[in-house]
Amino acid sequence: MDAILLQILNGLDKGGAYALIALGLTLIFGTLGVVNFAHGALFMLGAFCAVSLNKMMTASVKVKDESVTFFEAFKEVPYLELWLGETGTTLISWSVPLSILLAIPVMLFIGLAMERGLIRHFYRRPHADQILVTFGLAIVLQEIVKASFGANPHPQAVPEMFSGTANVGALFGLGDNIVYPIWRLVYFFFSMSIIGMVFAFLQFTTFGMVVRAGMADRETVQLLGINITKRFSIVFGLAAVVSGLAGLMYTPILPPDYHIGMDFLVLSFVVVVVGGMGSLPGAVLAGFLLGILQSFASMNEVKSVLPGIDQIIIYLIAMVVLLVRPRGLLGRKGVMED
């Protein structure tokens, strides 16, 4: 029982990440009708916002390393520690949450630049062309990051107060066996609140209303004389921020490297298809569902019956859903069917 509860927690946590990525992807697809293969790269860029801020905060003086005697070696002492002592160290440990402040403008800018500079010219081109040009862009972005940060993962620490584990079981009176890392809980609540904000934004603002109307029927809204295109480029920026934040907050869980976006790319498409192309609630639902099912498929009890099931569960679900209910869980019929 405890094992199952823990796996549900795992699934919720993983699902939070999947849902956030799929949410951004669906926003872009639903509004602009663009299949964005560079979406994983946005996740990766978000993660590297955290890495960059950490690097900036640990900008260091080189102090001669006396422990190395055979050659001139230096060790690095961050200025912040040099100037502020303990406070500096604490400040550095907060670099991941702090980088949210950096990531929002940066990702917004990247999103807008991407839409204005490239994606815009592909609205009328076939989906295959969109896939290909964004795929090319993803390769380029990832190679640039690799050239600047190397291929190795960059571990990110979490602030003292969020490190360690929480006794979740005790909170709900379920015994002491259900402990869970605090940061993962933070991630889950973070993803829930981002999802909530995006939905609230679309539901309760005029801007959001127009966007939703545009998602449902682009031509009609344009006939009303509303400049959809301009709003849609902002939506692209918004989607970039959402995926960027998803990546950024994930860095303490998964030390990011240049390839982290590609690792999530296929998966995020599967999530979107399972949820239904263009359906925001579908993307969220599918994200959590796939996260939980993936966790269950990895349990020893399941694997002993179906060896290797954890390797293919995601694809298996995608296949079954596509064959049985091609529009996805909550999708509209006929989206991109031809």
Residues numbered 127-146 forming contacts with another protein, rule: CB under 8 A: 127-129, 131-133, 135-140, 143-144, 146
The first and second tokens of residue 249, run together, are: 């907050």
Which candidate, 238, 302, 249, places its Cα nearest to that of 100?
Answer: 249
For position 174 contacting another protein by CB under 8 A, the verdict is no
Are 331 and 282 a contacting pair, CB within 8 Å?
Answer: yes
Measured distance CA(26)–CA(271) in Å, rounded: 10
Which candidate, 260, 179, 192, 256, places its Cα nearest to that of 10?
Answer: 179
**Least distance (Å) between residue 129 CB and another protein:** 6
For position 303 contacting another protein by CB under 8 A, the verdict is yes
Binding span for another protein by CB under 8 A among 189-197, 234-242, 266-274, 281-289: 266-274
**Least distance (Å) between residue 118 CB and another protein:** 8
For position 160 contacting another protein by CB under 8 A, the verdict is no
Considering only residues 87, 312, 325, 332, which one is a binding residue for another protein as defined by CB under 8 A?
312
Are 44 and 140 a contacting pair, CB within 8 Å?
Answer: no
Binding span for another protein by CB under 8 A among 119-127, 213-221, 225-233, 278-286: 119-127
| Residue indicated by tokens 């599918």 | 286
For position 76 contacting another protein by CB under 8 A, the verdict is yes
DSSP string, 182-208: HHHHHHHHHHHHHHHHHHHHHHHSHHH
For position 220 contacting another protein by CB under 8 A, the verdict is no
Are 115 and 34 a contacting pair, CB within 8 Å?
Answer: no
Three-class secondary structure of residue 263 per DSSP: helix
Considering only residues 88, 97, 153, 208, which one is a binding residue for another protein as defined by CB under 8 A?
153
Give the Cβ contact number of residue 157 at 10 Å. 16
Considering only residues 73, 82, 170, 200, which one is a binding residue for another protein as defined by CB under 8 A?
73
Considering only residues 56, 61, 74, 193, which one is a binding residue for another protein as defined by CB under 8 A?
74
Tell me the site size for another protein, rule CB under 8 A: 90
Residue type, position 7, single letter: Q
Binding span for another protein by CB under 8 A among 70-78, 209-217, 228-236, 237-245: 70-78
For position 310 contacting another protein by CB under 8 A, the verdict is yes
Which candidate, 210, 24, 20, 35, places its Cα nearest to that of 126?
Answer: 35
Considering only residues 79, 116, 121, 205, which one is a binding residue for another protein as defined by CB under 8 A?
121
**Least distance (Å) between residue 134 CB and another protein:** 9
Measured distance CA(41)–CA(45) in Å, rounded: 6
Considering only residues 61, 75, 160, 172, which one is a binding residue for another protein as defined by CB under 8 A?
75
Measured distance CA(304)–CA(299) in Å, rounded: 9
Q: Which string of x and - marks every residue 271-290 that binds another protein (by CB under 8 A)?
A: --x---x-------------
